[in-house]
Amino acid sequence: MPYVVVARYRTLPGRQDEVLALLDTMAEASRREPGNRQYRVHQSTEDPRTVVLYEEYGTAADFEAHCASEHFQDLVLGRVVPLLEEREVLRLTPREEGA
């Protein structure tokens, strides 16, 4: 069953460009994971410090593998999270789409 993660970050003041550049690198690495289907990075049009990730994996286990990856540990936990004021992660099941 496909597994979607929506992460919403608010960066520390003035750190959004640094966070976005790190997440661009993270996106490239994540898209190479065999279980990854999408990894998109977005910035709010209203609050430049609000950043949203939309990630899709084949299964929940593929997301667990993502979280165990070196790029997640180094880039997200090691470098992005210290630049955030808030971080919220939603784990989701997409509805099946009709024909």
Residues that bind a copy of itself (CB under 8 A): 3-4, 6, 8, 20, 23-24, 27-28, 40-46, 50, 52, 54, 60, 90-95, 97-98
- Looking at beta carbons only, is 68 or 95 nearer to a copy of itself? 95
Closest CA to 44 of 25, 27, 20, 26: 20
- Looking at beta carbons only, is 27 or 83 nearer to a copy of itself? 27
* Shortest Å distance, C-beta 70 to a copy of itself: 20
* Shortest Å distance, C-beta 35 to a copy of itself: 16
* Shortest Å distance, C-beta 52 to a copy of itself: 6
Other CB atoms closer than 10 Å to residue 4's CB: what's the count? 16
CA distances, 51 to each of 48, 72, 86 (Å)? 8, 17, 10
- Looking at beta carbons only, is 23 or 76 nearer to a copy of itself? 23
CA dihedral angle for residue 82, residue 83, residue 85, residue 86, rounded to 10 degrees: -80
